[in-house]
Structures are given as C-alpha cells and as structure tokens.
Structure 1
Amino acid sequence: MFRQALAGLVCATALTTPAIAQTYETEAGAVALDPVVEGLQFPWGMVFLPDDSMLVTERSGNLRHVAADGTISDPITGVPEVVFEGQGGLLDVALDPEFESNRYVYVSYAEPGDEAGTNSTAVARGVLSEDRGQLSDVEVIFSQQPKLPSTLHFGSRLTFDNDGYLFITTGERSDAEFRVQAQNLDSHLGKVIRILPDGSVPEDNPFVDTQGALPEIWSYGHRNMQGADMHPQTDQLWVAEHGPRGGDELNKVVPGGNYGWPLLTEGTEYSGDPINPPQDLPDDLVEAERTWVPSPAPSGLAFYTGDLFPQWQGDAFMGALAGTDLIRIDLEGEEVLGDEFLFGDGFPHRIRDVTEGPDGALYLITDADPGQILRLSPEQ
C-alpha cells in the first residue's frame, strides 16, 4: 500500500540519494520529516487516489501518477495546453466525489487566450484511464474572464464540499490596472467560484439574480488564494490568501462576502508605499480569521482529521513559500487560537501544497526543480 511504501521509500527512479528523515520538536512532540519522492519539476498540487497512489501536477504542464512503490510515471496524456510562464502552468488537481464510478479528474491551469500574450485561470475535467496513462473526453468547465497579459496571481485551488459543489479560487492578476476588478461582479478576477461538476451554475449561488453579475461568483474582493479546504465540522470553505507586502490572510468564506481587496489590507505595496482605504469603504466587509505581517506567503491548506497526531485534530496546516515552513493553525472549532511555525529558521524548502494522507500523515510538496514530496509523521 502507498501509505506503507512511502513511509520508508528509497526508490531508484524517484530518489537519487537515500531518504534521510529530519526531526523537529513541536508542541505535539518530536516529528519526522521524510523525503519520499524526488525529481518532480515544480510540483504544485497533489491528490490521493482510492488505492493510495497519487496524482501530482508539475507546473511545467505534466500530470504524473506516483505509484504505490513511489515510481513516477511518464506524463499522463490529454492534459490541456498550459501557459508555463511566471506563476502560470498546470496547477491544482482534484478527484470527482464519484471518482470510483466515473473516474473524473479536474485540473486547474493557466489557459492561453485568443489574443497573443493573454491568459487566465481555467479548469478542465477528463476521464482517467484504468492504466492512469491518459485523460480522455477532456472539457473545459470554467474559464476565468477576462483574459489578460499577466503571468501572476492565478489562485487556482480546487475543492469539493460534501454536497458535490466545486469551489475554485482565482487571483486578481496582480497589476494595479487589473486588481480593481476584484470588487466588480462582472469579472472573475479575485473571486471564489462555485459550480457543479459539469460547469453549470447552482441555482442558489448568491449573485444568480443580480443584474450584470457573473452567476458563478460565490465571494469577491480576494487577492490571490493559493490554499483552500472545507472545514471538517461545518463543511464551509476556508482559504489561505496572499496579501501584498504583509497582510496574508486566513478567511472563512461566506456566500456573497466581500473580503476587501484592494480597498483594505494590513499590507503595503511592494515599494513600501501604503495602501490607503477609500473614505467610502463598504461597511459589510468580511474580516479575516487570521492575518500575518510579515507575509509567510501561504500556499496549500488542509484541515487535519487523522489519528497519527491526535493533538492536532481539527487544526489547519498551511504551506509557506517566503516563510519556508509549515504553519499549524491552532483551532478550537472555528475559533483561531494561534499558530505554530513547525520547522523554524533555516528550513530550506518552500512548501507549495499540503494534504492529509490516507495513513494520517501529512504530505508536503516542495516548490522547486527538482521538487519533492515530504511525509510528516510522529518520530518513531
């Protein structure tokens, strides 16, 4: 089984040197961090299959299958064309809630536009072959509008709730000229999107009956959400969101909520200039559950429900890029009590994604070429 094989994996096709665990002291005791797969090209997203193997995206445009023995497959065919530039490329991956019967796989990516140099976040789904070598019947079910000449802020996490609705996070494409559209309901920039698995719009979306609004929109006023997961007790979407220079946020997403960007932030421009709120600031902005200054640069978010770390059940875990760490968010139900940076100064890896494995361990993707998959478990 994958959960057993990865725990002690030393595979010639995946690792060039023996896997040596690093040990860290945490508030829950000593933990071991083992490299279990190596040799991926800027990996971005991962998902476990029912047999405990994995699908992993590489931002360069490849979708890979990582088998139970740790072997990395050749690229799976049928993946849509992606823009591999800047922060763009093949990004997240998710399984349909009914995967075992329909074998649908969903990928998000930077989709090229008709006009040269333009692109945007898109989501496609396809049927994964039994040998895991091909996606067939691939169709685009969401394409962010407008398409723009930017290679930044694609957002792009995918997650399903218990009712089978697909949530997609998008970015506002960074540029000051574009980011104002995060406040506009006729644009997909800086929004959470909620659709059905075939791309159709649920009738109870908050802006379905709002004239001029795009009906896929679930919430707005976001900057660049690169972490998303459903709270295990409430089945409500939470997102981890990049602020500018400072002001990273953890947000609990409510339907129709306005999260304030670019009107209000605890951060500043990268130049150091302040971002001053307008005098007529909306009075119904949704406050963040947690903010960070300076920015750890969050990417990946997962609530923990496993048994390996009983002290951490109900907590959330967030990768950090600039902060090169894994951050535990201490939760009591939906109340944020604090946080813990698990690995501390000197940790060398940018953590791009985090997910709970079937074995109750936490699996981390490192943002690098070559990139790794790391397994976090209690020290034996």
Structure 2
Amino acid sequence: MQPKITRQLFDKVILPVYAPAQFIPVKGKGSRVWDQNGEEYIDFAGGIAVNALGHCHPRLVKALHQQSEKIWHVSNVFTNEPALNLAQKLIDNTFADRIFFANSGAEANEAAFKLARYYAIEKYNPYKTKIIAFHQSFHGRTFFTVSVGGQAKYSDGFGPKPADIIHVPFNNLDAVKAVIDDHTCAVVLEPVQGEGGLTCASLEFLQGVRELCDKYHALLIFDEVQCGMGRTGSLYTYQQYGVTPDILTSAKALGGGFPISAMLTTEDIATVMHPGVHGTTYGGNPLACAVGCEAFDIINTAEVLEGVQKRRAIFIEQLENINDKFRVFREYRGKGLLLGAELQPEFHHKARDFLNVATEFRVMILNAGPNVLRFTPSLIISEEEIREGMMRFAKAVEKVVNA
C-alpha cells in the first residue's frame, strides 16, 4: 500500500543528513511554489541558485518533453547530439576548448582536481601534486572535494583525508605567496564564495593568483558552480574580472533545474587525457543537455544578464527598508542575484532562525553560514514578486527580532 506522503515520513525513510522545512512543495510556476495544502510561497531560494529561470519555465518544459520522446540515455560508450550542442555553446562563449559533462558540482570539481594533478604529473613530475585552496570555501561532498573545501565541519570524521591540500585565508595574496612552490599543481577558488558567506574575491587578489600560477606552472581553477551561468550578471563571473582560469566548473543553473554539470578547460590541458582516465555513466545525458541548451540560450542574453543588476538593486532597496525598522543587517555581500545580507553581531548564529520563520510567512530564503542570509532567486523574477516576497519577509524579521 502506498504510504501517506507527509513531512513525518521523511524522518523515517531518509538518511538524517538534512533538516528540511516542515512543508512539502508539490508545484512550482515561475517564482511561486505551492505546498500540499495549497499554500503559496514566493521563492527567493531558487533551489540554492539552481532554478535560474524559475520553476517549470515553458521553454525548458518543451525541451524536456521533446527530448523525452527521442532518447533518454546512451552512456559515454556513444555520444549524443544535445551533449555536443551544449558543449559547442559553452566553448563559443568562454575561454574553453574542451568540455567534460557530469551530474553535479561536486563531480565537476572532482574531475577538475583529478585533471590538475594528472596534468602536472604527466607534464612535469610525480611530486607536483599540491593543491592550494581557501578557508570557508566549498567545492562539494565527495571525499576529495570536501577535503579541498575549506570548512572542516564538512570533512572531519571520515578518516584520513587526501594529502597535499593546503588551506590559506581568502583574498590574502601574501598567504598564497607563502605556500605556493614548484610542487603546486593548482590553486582552487570561488570568485564569490557561496556557502562560505558570499565573500567576493578582489580584483588584485585574482590578478595576483593568476600571476603566481603562471610563475610556478600551476593551474588556476575557478569553481563557478554557484556564481556562474548568469547569477552575478555575466555568463561567468571570471568575465567581470578579466582574469581567465585554466579550468572552470559549472553546475546548478546550467540545467535550469535539471541535474547537470560541466568542467571547462583548454586544448593544451585536455591533451594529457585519454580514454579510461576519467568518466561517468550519466554525464552528458541527452535529457539534461537538451534542457541545458535551452537554459543556456535564455540566460545568455542581454535582457536576462542586464536584468540581474536591476533586480539586485530592488532587493537591496527592500532590505534597507526592513533594516531601517529592525536594524538586523550589517552589510550586503555577493554579486548580482547571489546576494547575502550579513546579520548584526547580536543576531549572529541566528541565520537559520530567519530562514525557518520566513517559511511561516510563505517566503523561501537561504542562509550561507550562521551569520549571513542568502537570496538566490530566479534571474527573471518580477519586481512585483520581489516586493511582495519582501513584505512577507519583513514580517518574519519582526517575529525573530521580537522573540
């Protein structure tokens, strides 16, 4: 017999690694979501920056439907048209010459880190394996990626970690200079740290790291899983800095809600690889790539990309109105619609409280650590929905402040 689907069922059947909200979304359209009881929510979370075009965008639905009647899966023993189409779009609009498709940001980063070490070992020597990463970074949940990530709370407790990974303070070029050497194969960073509090890299820092990588023949890897695909107002964030990486990873918004990721690199770096060195069964799946092609074509337009900054300005205006009344925010972080609001010291460690109470007033938000609220809505959310959602959020803020 089919069990009754309730939030309580989650606690019985799902591995207890999540603490989801008490309601269950069952339908989404644009920037609105409805739960099992028909209650409507405004979505400022966007599936953690995944639903860049909202829920059930008609062009994505059409692309998925059309591909679903053609071919679903062939593995990488064979290739497929949607994968080649999406790869060409990425190459035509970035620094890249070669693409590797996977299914999640973690998988794309796993591939990037393996490629960096393999390239260094093949081209230089077997001891050129050091990876430099940064405190508060986040690169995924596989054992390699969580070890490269700079938050011990995610990587401790699983036994010996992969070796030769060093973490230094973000935006501190002197710290990088102190540890980089001829044994370094890669420096890995997020141009805007996502889970780490929405801290943006400075131009001087990125330029300096690029120069150091060139000096020591190390690869520069940009993790744009969260900040890429239009989220910050350009197709990829590196394009705003004018600093080009050797490897870039992309996921989340790349499929507009359908799981897909990609690792982008140059011809020179790609040449060290050969069949069997790395792979994935589902990567480049025709369904995912068909949806990804359509999402790419919508996002990579002046209308959408230029609209990101306009929407950010409205969000900050509304947050300022809330702050005038309740004095809860210290500063605003991030770029574009990867937007963070850092809480005042008296509200530190309460970010999750704001998130939970917001759902009571039917608005969905995120946190980025214990002290920063995070907003990653659809890139095409309407001004009306921003203002209405912020009215609801203001009521949630009032409740937390007066608790």
Tell me the TM-score normalized by structure 2.
0.29
Given the two structures, how large is their TM-score scaled by the length of structure 1?
0.30
Which protein has the bigger helix share?
Answer: 2
Richer in strand (by share):
1
